[in-house]
Amino acid sequence: MRFIVCVKQVPATTEIGIDEGTGTLIREGVETIINPFDEYALEEAVRLKEKVGGIVTAISMGPPQAETTLRDCIARGADEAILITDKKLAGSDTLATAFALSSAIRKIGNFDLIICGKQAIDGDTAQVGPGLAEKLNIPHISYVKKIETINSNHIKVHRLMEDGVDILESSLPALVTVVKDINVPRLPSLKRMILAKKIKITYFGLQDIGVDPSKVGLIGSPTRVIKVTHPPLRPSGEKITGNIEEMAAKLVNKLSKAGLI
């Protein structure tokens, strides 16, 4: 079977600046990591491959330096890696990103399952996975916490909901996005790290995947960030301390003063 994992290189920190002009994140000069949710996606793909056989392809869209993230994917078990990179892609929103990814995946050809992290920790949109499935016209299931069974044309998964778990089945090919409950990602092995240094990463530009430049980048992205603001800080609460009797007395006192009891 062929498993495709979509990965994103993200800033290693959550304290990141925002470009006032474009409303996009300032990524220059910040230490980067593989998006943590994508690690779970990759691990799941590698486990499935170990179980049923096949190959794992990691794919990313980003600047040339995203290659380091793809090499990390090889070290963690991916068999091959593809980087979609083109200056014209800069500023792509989730729609444009899903479109570019879908074009690259169409170019790859046959696949059975696409696995994405539930969201990236920088943009936090959780839209690219489902958007990609729509562009490819395949079913998708998000927030998957367990893949129970998989065979050549069918998958059964557990979806994490706020109030419980849904057990769902889908035909293949399909796309799933995964939550961190799904597995504990392995560490890269030394042999694979050495291999990852040497392996050739495939580069795709817009021309390679037949994408019209007007459909991607800032101009191809209908989403406009109007303004970015910090949420107001929630005022800190008051902690009542003491033994149980003292705490109860203080609480009753406060509530009655406030006219609530």
Partner 1 sequence: MNSFDFFLDEEQRMIRDLARKIAEERVKPIREECDEKERFPWEIVRELAATDLFGIYIPVEYGGMGKGMFELSLIIEELSKVDAGIALCLAGTALGVIPIIHFGNESQKKKYLPEISKGSMVAAFAITEPEAGSDILTLQTTARKENGFYILDGTKHFISNAGEAQIYTVFATTDKAKGARGISAFLVEKGTAGFTFGKKERKLGIRSSPTRELIFNNCKIPRESLLGREGMGLMIALRTFDLSRPGVAAQALGIAEGALEEAIKYARERKQFGQSIISFQSISHRIAELASEIEAVRALLYNVCRLIDSNPRGKFTKESAMVKLLASDLAMKTTIEVIQILGGYGYMKDYPVEKMMRDAKITQIYEGTNEIQKNEIITAIIREFAKKK
Rule CB under 8 A: which residues touch partner 1? Answer: 186-191, 193-194, 197
| Cβ closest to partner 1, residue 77 vs residue 173 | 77
Angle at 115 between CA 112 and CA 117, to 5 degrees: 175
Residue placing its CB nearer to partner 1 in the complex, 17 or 36: 36
Q: How far is the CB of 45 from partner 1 (least distance, A)?
A: 17
Nearer to partner 1, 71 or 140 (CB): 71
Nearest to 8 by CA among 184, 161, 128, 157: 128
Nearer CB in complex with partner 1: 37/204: 37
Query: What minimum distance in Å lies between the beta carbon of 187 and partner 1?
Result: 5
Q: Is the Cα dihedral 155, 186, 4, 92 positive or negative? A: positive
Nearer to partner 1, 106 or 197 (CB): 197
Longest distance between any two alpha carbons in the chain, whole Å: 73
Closest CA to 123 of 232, 10, 20: 10
Residues shown for the chain: 261
C-beta of 191: minimal distance to partner 1 in Å?
5
Q: Rounded to whole angstroms, how far apart are CA atoms 69 and 71?
A: 5
CB of 198 to partner 1, least distance (A): 11
Angle at 97 between CA 94 and CA 98, to 5 degrees: 85
Q: Give the residue with the Cβ less far from partner 1, 184 or 233.
A: 184
Instruction: Please report the sign of the dihedral spanned by the C-alpha atoms of residue 77, residue 138, residue 97, residue 226.
Output: negative
Supply the minimum distance, in Å, between the C-beta of residue 112 and partner 1: 26
C-alpha torsion sign, points 90, 94, 99, 102: positive
CB of 144 to partner 1, least distance (A): 24
The structure tokens listed for 210 are 């037949």
